Amino acid sequence: MTTHKNNISFVFVHIVIFICGSVLMSLEFSGSRVLAPYFGSSIFVWASLISVLLIALACGNYWGGNLADQSPSFTLWGTIIGLSGIFVLIIPLMCGPICRFITHFITDDRIGSLMATCCLFFLPSLLLGMVSPFAIKFSLPNVAIAGNVSGKLYAVSAIGNVFGTLFTAFYLITKLGIFAIFTTLGLILIVTAIAIICSKGTRAHFMFSIALAIISLILAASPAPALVSFKDDVAVRLEKDSFYHHIMIVDFLDKNIRNLHFDRGDQTSISLSGNHESYNSYTNMLHLPLVFAPNFKNALFIGAGGAVVPRNYSNDYPNIDIDLVEIDPIVGKISTDYFFLNPNEHLKLIIADGRRLVQNTDKIYDIVVLDAYFTKSQIPFHLLTKNFFEELHLKISPDGVLAINLGGAVAGKGSTLFLAVYRTLASVFNNLYVFPDINNNILVDLSQSRNIIIIASKSKERFSQQHLSEKMKALSESGIVKISNFDYYAQTLLEINPSSLSKAVLLTDDYAPVEHLMQNH
């Protein structure tokens, strides 16, 4: 059966294939954003999305091929595309409830993200997978040119895939809300389906198209439940998708607290009154580098978030030059607009990848603080490798230090990431000092996940706990460090038994299974 006999042009078939290919990849990229608040944006989420998409396409191609041979109807073709549009329009209405239901029963991100992806994206991807076999059927006048026709159609579909990928990743995600993207994709598919169905020109087909349009408009106009729900005493000040995160800023009105969320994790919590102090105790611990480099003249902070620590450094040590590098321009703007960071001649906010800045700068820093997270408790893997630490080592002064804020446990099963980072740092720096955040409880269970401050020093001299306590007390008494009971942190110093490192992973650019190590938390 040819396109001419069915009153539909060869060009139109290619347009439909391009549209469906574009929508399919846009659906996949947008899908990562609705999963992020619940499962993060790790390699597991992307593996789930890609696997479900490929399985759905395989099933769609198989069943679509059978249907195209049995019932090569444009009405059926249009109906399949229309149904895919309906399922896409349903995603904003169902993603929040489905993800909350899954995370309530399943704590493993690998299984949870796979199940959520199947529930939300399998059916629309399956239906879109059925489109190509029909297109080949309609475009094939005889078997002699089957290879030429199918090759061209698959090429057009692939070009659509590329367009959908780039347009969504480079433009749509930062210009439209995720729900608006799904609504737009769904309506594009509906309009395409109606154009195909109406090509038959009969009254029944027009009536069917009208019914399809009404159902679609009802779904598109239906208010979608919030992706992440909060109590009535919480005000959402900002919800936005950047190139790197699903970002939320929420105020807890009864407690006068502002929180910054990346994907599923809390990043920063500050008071909305007074000096806007942090409610996260680890921020005070990030002043520990001064114990090792009291005469520092400059500092580099990798990762902004709410920029509480760089802001405190700027206020407490006003003559120090501070470079704050943040990869996400939206996060950089948030730190100034919502978290009271005030860039000035001594505090520069630089939008760049932290590792790229370290590679390209000629500056030598006395203190470097690595506090970069793209989701809860997870530092980007390329900032935890021996290769990066070697690059950092070259940019730190002889008496300088590197401080890392790491999330995890320091003992037990959940310590695999900490031990890997410790072993990797030890392969580059002469001395390491570990200060777990124990919240004023010396008897705390160290197998529980928490913030861990690791100080990596280039100095060959090893300081005792007593010596550190004396230096902390002196910094406090002199007024240089304005944190009360600063010398208390000397009590939290944890000595790591070398035998515990025997099975620890050495993280390199070639091998850094950070996500898998994180699963043990």
Rounded distance between C-alpha atoms, residue 468 and residue 486, angstroms: 11
CA proximity to 402, closest of 430, 377, 376, 378: 430
Structure token digits, residue 131:
């489109």
> What is the predicted pLDDT for the residue at 5?
45
Q: What contacts 24+ positions apart, CB below 8 Å, involve 339-344?
A: 339/258, 339/260, 339/268, 339/270, 339/276, 339/306, 339/307, 339/308, 339/311, 340/270, 340/276, 340/311, 341/304, 341/307, 341/310, 341/311, 342/311, 342/314, 344/314
Q: How many CA atoms lie within 13 A of 376 on its CB side?
A: 15
> What is the predicted pLDDT for the residue at 173?
78
Rounded distance between C-alpha atoms, residue 405 and residue 389, angstroms: 14
pLDDT in tens, the chain (521 residues): 444 444 457 788 889 999 999 999 999 988 888 888 788 777 888 899 999 999 999 999 999 999 988 888 888 999 999 999 999 999 999 888 898 899 888 878 889 999 999 999 999 999 999 999 988 888 776 655 677 778 888 898 899 989 998 888 888 877 787 888 999 999 999 999 998 888 777 788 888 888 889 999 999 888 877 666 666 678 888 888 887 878 889 898 888 899 998 876 778 889 998 888 888 888 999 999 999 999 999 999 999 889 999 999 999 998 899 999 999 999 999 999 999 999 999 999 999 999 999 999 999 999 999 998 766 557 888 999 999 999 999 999 999 999 999 988 888 888 899 999 999 999 999 999 999 987 756 557 777 888 899 999 999 999 999 999 999 999 998 999 988 889 889 989 999 988 888 889 999 999 888 877 876 65
Q: Within 257-360, where are the H helices?
A: 282-285, 289-292, 308-316, 329-337, 354-360
> What is the predicted pLDDT for the residue at 440?
59
What's the predicted TM-score (pTM) here? Answer: 0.80
> What is the predicted pLDDT for the residue at 352?
92
Per residue in 138-162, is it b (16+ CB within 10 Å) or e — as a string?
A: bbbeeeeeeeebbebbeebbeebbe
Cβ atoms of 36 and 117 closer than 8 Å? no
Q: How many CA atoms lie within 13 A of 219 on its CB side?
A: 25
Torsion angles phi and psi, residue 368, rounded to 5: -125, 130
Q: Within 296-415, where are the H helices?
A: 308-316, 329-337, 354-360, 386-394
Q: In this structure, are strands 257-262 and 246-252 parallel, antiparallel, or unpaired?
A: antiparallel
Q: Which CATH number fits domain 283-518: 3.40.640.10, 3.40.50.150, 1.20.1440.20, 3.60.40.10?
A: 3.40.50.150
Bridge partners (DSSP) listed for residue 370: 302, 404
Rounded distance between C-alpha atoms, residue 284 and residue 261, angstroms: 20
What 3-state class would DSSP assign to 365?
strand
> What is the predicted pLDDT for the residue at 417?
92
Rounded distance between C-alpha atoms, residue 74 and residue 134, angstroms: 8
> What is the predicted pLDDT for the residue at 372?
86
End-to-end CA distance of the chain: 59
Each domain of the chain, given as residue ranges in start order, spans: 10-221, 234-271, 283-518
Rounded distance between C-alpha atoms, residue 430 and residue 424, angstroms: 12
Rounded distance between C-alpha atoms, residue 260 and residue 321, angstroms: 26
Number of helical H runs and strand E runs in the chain: 18, 11
Quickly list DSSP for 413-429: GGGHHHHHHHHHHHTT-
> What is the predicted pLDDT for the residue at 172?
82
Q: Which CATH class is domain 10-221?
A: mainly alpha
Torsion angles phi and psi, residue 90, rounded to 5: -75, -25
CA proximity to 134, closest of 47, 6, 36, 223: 6
Q: In this structure, are strands 365-370 and 298-302 parallel, antiparallel, or unpaired?
A: parallel
> What is the predicted pLDDT for the residue at 236?
85
Q: What are the CA-CA distances from residue 33 to residues 181, 261, 263, 356 (Å)?
A: 11, 14, 8, 26
Q: What contacts 24+ positions apart, CB below 8 Å, involve 193-198?
A: 193/78, 193/79, 193/81, 193/82, 193/85, 194/78, 194/82, 195/78, 196/8, 196/16, 196/74, 196/75, 196/77, 196/78, 196/81, 197/74, 197/75, 197/78, 197/79, 197/82
CA 496 to chain centre: 32
Rounded distance between C-alpha atoms, residue 76 and residue 199, angstroms: 12
